[in-house]
Amino acid sequence: MTSPSVSFRISRNTEELAETIHALSRRLVAMEQRLVAMEHQVAQAEEAAVEEIDPQESASLANVERLLLDCRQLLAVEASVFASSSSTFSAGLAGAEPDDEELNEEEEPRASGFRHAA
C-alpha cells in the first residue's frame, strides 16, 4: 500500500494541474473572443475600403489589370517562340565545335571593347 504522504502529494499535484488547466482554458477563451472581435473589425474595414473606391479608379484598375494580363500573354508567346527557335539553333550547332583560333577571335573584340573611364 502507498503511504499517506505519497497519496497526499499525488492529490496535491492533481489539484494543481486541474487549476493550471482551468486557468489556461480561461485564457484560451479570452484569446478566442479577442480573435473574433479582431476578425470582425478587419471585415468591417474591408467593407468600408470597398465602398470608398471611386468608380473611375475602379475602371482604371481594371484597365491596368487587363494590360498586365496582355503583357503576360505576350511574354508567354515570346518565351515559347524563343524556346523553339533556340532549340532549332542549338540543334544545328551541336555537331560543329569551334577550334581554338575561332574562340580567340571571338574573345578579342569583347576584351578590346571594354574601356575604363578616366
Instruction: For residue range 24-71, list pLDDT tens digits in order.
Output: 999 999 999 999 999 999 999 888 877 777 788 888 989 999 999 998
**pLDDT reading at 11 higher than 70:** yes
**Domain ranges for the chain:** 1-52, 56-85
pLDDT digits over 85-112, tens only? 766 666 555 555 555 554 554 444 444 4
List, in order, residues 6 or more apart from 106 with CB less than 8 Å away.
Answer: 98
Q: What pTM was estimated for this model as a whole?
A: 0.38
**pLDDT reading at 113 higher than 80:** no
∠ Cα 23 28 31 (to 5°):
130
Cα 16 to Cα 11: distance, rounded to the nearest angstrom: 9
